[in-house]
């Protein structure tokens, strides 16, 4: 199984670098969304600082959502998913490798870029570690929950809209906790509770989401 995981991860990595546009689109979208807010509401630092937690988190959420529709689409079209389903290896472990690869190429770059754009929104320097830690805990949940929706809609034409309708309500707890942690840090309040809850969500998502993804793929392939 260890060799299968390594080969699958290597395959995903090579395929991703053959389509550089798929890697850059979420990052460019994230940068554009955040850059437009100061132009729209004005350069007032006080107003930007109040809006910054929500703006950064909503931009990260939408950027992640943008990259979800194609997560399993190409594998479904070339027949790879059928081979995954009939494989004797655990499907949940294989899809977990897929989601991990997705997060490394979409979620982790957002975590690394967020401090730069947070400074553009006048967030204090002492808040940036909390912002990065909240995104580091929250973006894996976004990828895992999004992968469940992507698996359920993989066999549908134009399933992107349905995917958004399915997944956006599930993103609300992560959005509330992430913005709450950054707002609390901005006001000098304790943030440990927010981060611990986000850590719990991450553990639950890592434990349960692969099972849901595997079930959704079996349904999608069998249709």
- DSSP code per residue over 89-127: S-HHHHHHHHHHHHIIIIIHHHHHHHHHHHHHTT--GGG
Predicted local distance difference test score (pLDDT) of residue 132:
93
Predicted local distance difference test score (pLDDT) of residue 158:
63
Query: Whole domain around residue 199: which residue ranges?
Result: 2-222
Predicted local distance difference test score (pLDDT) of residue 159:
64
SS3 call for 223: coil
Predicted local distance difference test score (pLDDT) of residue 184:
92
pTM summary value: 0.88
Alpha helix locations (H) across the chain? 2-18, 20-41, 45-66, 73-77, 80-86, 91-102, 108-120, 128-152, 160-186, 192-222
How many structural domains compose the chain?
1
pLDDT profile of the chain (223 residues), mean per 10: 76 75 81 86 81 90 84 77 79 86 87 89 89 93 90 74 83 92 90 92 91 85 68
Predicted local distance difference test score (pLDDT) of residue 160:
67
CB 114 within 8 A of CB 132: yes
């Amino acid at each position: 199984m260890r060799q299968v995981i390594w080969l699958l991860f290597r395959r995903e990595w090579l395929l991703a670098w053959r389509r550089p546009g798929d890697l850059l689109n979420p990052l460019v979208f994230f940068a554009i969304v955040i850059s437009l807010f100061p132009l729209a509401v004005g350069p007032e630092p006080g107003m930007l600082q109040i809006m910054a937690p929500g703006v950064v988190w909503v931009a990260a959420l939408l950027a992640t959502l943008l990259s979800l529709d194609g997560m399993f689409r190409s594998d479904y079209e070339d027949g790879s998913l059928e081979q995954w389903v009939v494989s004797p290896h655990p499907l949940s472990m294989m899809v977990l490798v897929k989601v991990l690869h997705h997060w490394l190429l979409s979620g982790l770059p957002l975590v690394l870029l967020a401090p730069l754009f947070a400074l553009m929104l006048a967030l204090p320097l002492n808040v940036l570690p909390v912002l990065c830690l909240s995104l580091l805990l929250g973006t894996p949940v976004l990828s895992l929950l999004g992968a469940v929706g992507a698996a359920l809609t993989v066999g549908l034409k134009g399933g992107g809209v349905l995917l958004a309708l399915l997944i956006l309500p599930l993103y609300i707890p992560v959005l509330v906790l992430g913005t709450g942690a950054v707002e609390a840090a901005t006001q000098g309040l304790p943030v440990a509770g927010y981060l611990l809850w986000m850590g719990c969500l991450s553990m639950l998502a890592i434990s349960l989401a692969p099972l849901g993804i595997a079930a959704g793929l079996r349904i999608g392939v069998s249709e």
